[in-house]
Amino acid sequence: MIATRIKQKDAVFYFISYKAKDLLEKVKFTSRYTLEGETIGLHPSVHESEQERFFRAVEKSEQGFQRSINQQKVGQIVNFYENAQGQPAIPGSILLFTEEPLTYEPLGEYVSVGNLSEPRDKYLIIDGQHRLAALHFFVQHNPEMADEISVPCVIFDGQNAAFAIEMFVIVNSTHTKISKSHMVDLYDKISWVSPQRKLAAKLTYAMYEEDSSPLQYRINRLGGRSKLDKWIMQSEFFNEISKVVEANPDFFESNFNNRADYVFPLMRDYFRAVASVMQEIWGDRKNYMFSQDVTIKAMIRIWGDLVLDAGCFAEWQAERAPQPFEKRIAGWKGIANRFRKEGFYERFPAKGQVERVGRIRKELKDALNGMSVR
């Protein structure tokens, strides 16, 4: 097979392009035992799925160094392969290893390009096990693609297993993770992201950027240059909007065509109403918890309840103003002292923020005027 020979200091390794079908026949999936005494099931269920059969067959040993293959992660990658039509499936190299010394013969005067022999045994995968497991299922479901996908691979040969383990540790301990906030900024530009998540990302940006937003520059956005005190992380704000939009896709599609510039006035007017009704404590983060992230998350959930109320939404459509929301949340003024910073965590006891957001939402919901929300 044709390979590019790469020399870095004392190390020599090779770069090649494998057809998907050929590569899958030449690699061995391995992982360590993850629990003491764990064994691979000897008697598969008659209802065992295709994925379950594959993962049950993955070799496990005390000498293995790979993490256990995560079935959910593999499923997500398969979904990417199937839906990201305009994107390469595996643009980054798979790192392979064999203890066998491979024979390399340069092509004429080209010292760095030549023919590389293949190992008798299968390659171990240093990095890329999940991507190749996903490729296995993708090719099974789309056999016509087996010869259409070439996979870039880097091959290390002639070293002992300790070398592969060290490479595995280096790759997985020094890799840089994209921040959640950065991901929100990129959603609008990714072709395979759902319309609902794109809407949530654009709406988050509008609430941060627009002059008419009561939360302008209060959302902690990556790259934001405003020195104003930040009330909530962009990723947290986005996640709450996503929950509302993804739970009610038909509502946002039929009424707003999933356009953030159409939905923005609805959310802006709601937060205008909140700022008006709660003006005595709105923004007072020194003495109150009302403008903190945990309460803002609960507010977004109440927004989802109110806009799905036919009467409230019809009034807002007619008026295009904060007043329909103000009428319904007027009772919040009477519970303002519940959000005093002193004793707040005793009034809203919880094991974590998820539970506390739920408790705050219930408090706000119970104080709505004339509303029976979910």
CA distances from 165 to 7, 64, 93, 138, 181 (A): 20, 9, 18, 28, 33
Closest CA to 138 of 215, 85, 206: 85
Closest CA to 274 of 219, 324, 329, 347: 329
Total-model pTM? 0.59
CB 45 within 8 A of CB 145: no
Q: Quick one: 37 and 102 in the same domain?
A: yes
Q: Quick one: 217 and 336 in the same domain?
A: yes
Number of compact structural domains in the chain: 2
Q: Quick one: 8 and 121 in the same domain?
A: yes
Q: Quick one: 224 and 185 in the same domain?
A: yes
* E strand map for 119-227: 123-127, 150-157, 219-220
Q: Quick one: 152 and 291 in the same domain?
A: no
Q: Quick one: 141 and 167 in the same domain?
A: yes
Range of the domain at 60: 2-173
In a domain, 111, yes or no: yes
Q: Quick one: 78 and 107 in the same domain?
A: yes
Give the bridge partners for 12, in sequence order. Answer: 7
Q: Quick one: 154 and 207 in the same domain?
A: no
pLDDT at 155: 96
In a domain, 372, yes or no: no
In a domain, 374, yes or no: no
- Where among 155, 173, 191 does a domain terminate? 173
In a domain, 371, yes or no: no
Q: Is the pLDDT of residue 45 over 70?
A: no
Lowest average pLDDT, out of 157-161, 194-198, 279-283, goes to 157-161
In a domain, 373, yes or no: no
pLDDT at 88: 85
Nearest-angstrom CA–CA distance, 204 and 371: 27
Read off the pLDDT of residues 81-127 as tens digits, 9 standing for 90 and up.
887 666 788 988 999 999 999 999 999 888 999 999 999 999 988 88
pLDDT at 228: 84
In a domain, 337, yes or no: yes
In a domain, 333, yes or no: yes
- Where among 141, 173, 205 does a domain terminate? 173
Nearest-angstrom CA–CA distance, 263 and 120: 61
Q: Quick one: 326 and 206 in the same domain?
A: yes
pLDDT at 74: 84
Q: Is the pLDDT of residue 33 over 70?
A: no
Q: Quick one: 188 and 129 in the same domain?
A: no
CA distances from 20 to 72, 138, 206 (A): 22, 10, 43
CB 201 within 8 A of CB 259: no
Measured from the Cβ of residue 220, the count of other Cβ atoms closer than 10 Å reads 19
Q: Quick one: 162 and 203 in the same domain?
A: no
Read off the pLDDT of residues 152-186 as tens digits, 9 standing for 90 and up.
999 999 887 777 777 776 666 555 566 677 677 77
Q: Quick one: 235 and 273 in the same domain?
A: yes
In a domain, 260, yes or no: yes
- Where among 108, 142, 173 does a domain terminate? 173
pLDDT at 46: 46
